[in-house]
Amino acid sequence: MKRNAQIILVSISILFSLVQAIFFGEYHFLDITECLVATLIAWIVGWQYDKLRLFAKERKKASKIIKN
């Protein structure tokens, strides 16, 4: 299973948090917590998306085998 969506979503989450910290110039504990929660959610959503793509590919392959 490829992990493209996980990597992209987690990278976006971390980059957004870094940009937010740079623009505001300060970073508090609450901001770190929000970053961790957002990164965890991005990782889970990316994992589910990657699983969905894998199962869709397998289903397509199985339907081609059944048709032949």
**Rounded CA gap, 66 and 63, in Å?**
5
Which carries the bigger pLDDT value, residue 58 or residue 29? 58
| pLDDT tens-digit map of 3-42 | 899 999 999 999 998 888 888 877 788 888 988 999 999 9
**Rounded CA gap, 6 and 54, in Å?**
13
Which range (1-5, 41-45, 49-53) has the least confidence?
1-5
Overall pTM surpassing 0.85 (yes/no): no
pLDDT the model gives residue 29: 80
